[in-house]
Copies of this chain bind each other. A is one copy, B any other.
């Protein structure tokens, strides 16, 4: 069976393992990255280097982009030597970066003007999910196009949900980040109170994890906080980018999000003292500093 040729734009923390999973699934792969050295390992493993998004799009059936932020996605598609310069009729463009919903909609519009198809398909699951191919994929776009992209998604994730038209994948991801942020704050506050009040925090986690207080954050970030392991599962700087988009989107929709705003402000305190590249679980350190202990 002749598989579709896929081109990946962006071979960072997420893009690199995702590219590897696509090669594993026997997709012929092209790669482009702003920093060429970031693609070296993939090229050695058999991916073909392309000199620009435009060059990549000329050589593939499916473009997948996973870069930094909204302006990067605009640049990759609509900038000089961007994907839009070489889009062919019916080409599938899947952006998996977390960006502003309105950017997803405007890029979709540019891609479709040129006969291409656009899906916004941000992911949850972080580096480990990308490596294991167990990402949760939240897709915005037309049903038929989501169906067409399904085999590609299946190589990358364990769950793909079609959330609505373009932009709705991104909106869903923002909801995801709101939930992650507040669950994280709960775990941090519970642990700081436990520590300060002399309670054994491991006993506390054990006692509350199975019930109504339970969450992914409690199970995965709680033990890391206790072990003072702040290596990133997901980096504070990235969570802040996502929460900034969530708060902007909320404001544009006339929705106050007081809890999300609080999480964002407290994580800003981590960033202010140089902890932005630590994992989000480092939020517990901000709360400990508020309570005047380490």
Q: 1/0 contact trace for A244-260 toward B, CB 8 Å? A: 00100110011111111
Q: Is the interface of A mostly helix, strand, loop or mixed?
A: helix
A292–B136 alpha-carbon span in the complex (Å): 32
Q: State in angstroms the CA–CA spacing of A220 and B189 once bound together.
A: 22
- A1 an interface residue at 8 Å Cβ cutoff? no
Determine how close the nearest CB of chain B comes to the CB of A147; give it in whole angstroms.
16
Q: Does residue A109 face the partner (Cβ distance < 8 Å to B)?
A: no
Q: Are A190 and B186 in contact (CB under 8 A)?
A: no
Q: Interface residues of A, CB < 8 Å — how many?
A: 74
Are A172 and B193 closer than 8 Å at their CB atoms?
A: no
Count of identical protomers in the assembly: 2
Taking CB atoms, residues of chain B closer than 8 Å to A25 are none
Residues of B within 8 A of A198 (CB): 164
Residues of A at the B interface (CB closer than 8 Å) are 101, 124-126, 129, 136, 138, 158-159, 161-164, 168, 171-172, 174-183, 185-187, 189-194, 196-200, 203-204, 206-208, 210-218, 220, 234, 246, 249-250, 253-260, 262-263, 266, 287, 290-292
Q: Nearest 10 pairs between A and B by C-beta?
A: A182-B186, A215-B215, A179-B213, A161-B207, A175-B190, A136-B211, A185-B259, A124-B211, A255-B291, A176-B208
